[in-house]
A and B are shown apart, each in its own frame.
Chain A
């Protein structure tokens, strides 16, 4: 499934024009972040280099590169997938470890406690559930898919 999804993202159609990098606002601020270079490294099989790089965590997922690509490559999705591969190979940023913990418990990106619900009540809003066990189950049955 993993390779199938990558194939849908059309990586092999990249001819290194660099339009993704030239339209990237992160690249404008930090010249070392070059989406087309990352695509090149993946294409030639130097994927380890990509997974270890801090660069994949600099993408804002704004989708501008995907929109600009003359070959219809889903550049953002490819870089996003590299993060997931990095995580699987043990390169996990601290923030993600925390996010995962909260997600598994709360089913949401932010934990909801009694204080939050009290604040909501005061503002005339309904309480929201503090736990959502189905998320742990989704991870359990889906993550094993290769």
Chain B
């Protein structure tokens, strides 16, 4: 099982715990993620500058993986959505030909459309298989309760994702977390956007979006939020104090990546899952687990 690892822009700089836990988890499961230094930004920020340039940027990344004969696994939902939507636009021969002309000028033969793009969580669900993963779970997290935040780009646009999961009632990440023995809850604003993408343009609105979900999950009293996107994590964890201050509330809600949660359940040590980088302390979770 060899895949091109699409790490994206945010993770290697701002989400080290996600990268560390992903590398430990996949290594332990026998999923070989190959680093591709030629990969660039997926094209997300460039969509706001020039759509066609963004398509060329996405296609270049896709074509590089194709040339190496590897499908892409990523862990940033934003990157996965942009690359998947680019694939959808590139199905149009007129667009594909125009883009391929640009790729030639960049020294890349062509983009054919053969490469598959998947978020690691989706890969575990569809390809690795939950039955196989279940056999690896040696430290069930029975005492923990999570509120899962999917992130908009985990399953939208659905047309680009082949209608994987249901945006109005998503289930695959819950099922993945449940596999570890932990409980996940349904909560009123489960499908709410984290607001990260507008925190730079319309800060107040972005922070209010983040505050709504933090408040909801804090009131319910889950042990932590579980998520699968570095941008969402910045909104809910890195910015948690700011969000609280600006909305007159005080939050203390740990935020864990699904890779950290699954990693714990298969017996990986905390150091190998990047917990030292969790900004909201996870002591209470550790205590609960120690009692189990």
Contacts and interface: CB of A to CB of B under 8 A. Distances in A.
A1 B12 contact: no
A104 to B, nearest CB: 11
Interface stretch (B133-141, B196-204, B283-291): B196-204
B220 interface: no
B51 interface: yes
B268 interface: no
B202 A58 contact: yes
A142 B52 contact: yes
Interface stretch (B67-75, B94-102, B111-119): B94-102
Given A57-B198, A143-B50, A125 B57 contact: no
Interface of A: 1-2, 4-5, 8, 25-26, 29-30, 54, 57-64, 66-67, 74, 76-77, 80-81, 83-84, 87-88, 93, 95-96, 99-100, 103, 107-110, 112, 116, 119-120, 123-126, 128-129, 132, 134-135, 137-139, 141-143, 145
B106 A141 contact: yes
Contacts of B98: 1, 145
Contacts of A134: 38, 40, 60, 106
User: Looking at chain B's contact residues, is the secondary structure mostly helix, strand, loop, or mixed?
Assistant: helix
Contacts of A139: 50, 53
20 contacts: A2-B51, A4-B94, A26-B198, A60-B209, A61-B152, A64-B167, A64-B193, A67-B156, A77-B85, A80-B48, A108-B41, A119-B16, A123-B20, A125-B19, A134-B40, A138-B106, A141-B56, A141-B102, A142-B53, A143-B53
B281 interface: no
Interface in B200-229: 200-202, 205-206, 208-209
A146 B209 CA distance: 36
B13 A62 contact: no
Range class of the B interface residue count: 35 or more
B245 interface: no
A18 to B, nearest CB: 18
B51 to A, nearest CB: 6
Interface string B30-50: 000001011011001111111
Given A59-B198, A123-B16, 11 more contacts: A62-B193, A64-B193, A77-B51, A83-B48, A112-B12, A120-B12, A125-B20, A134-B38, A141-B102, A143-B52, A145-B52
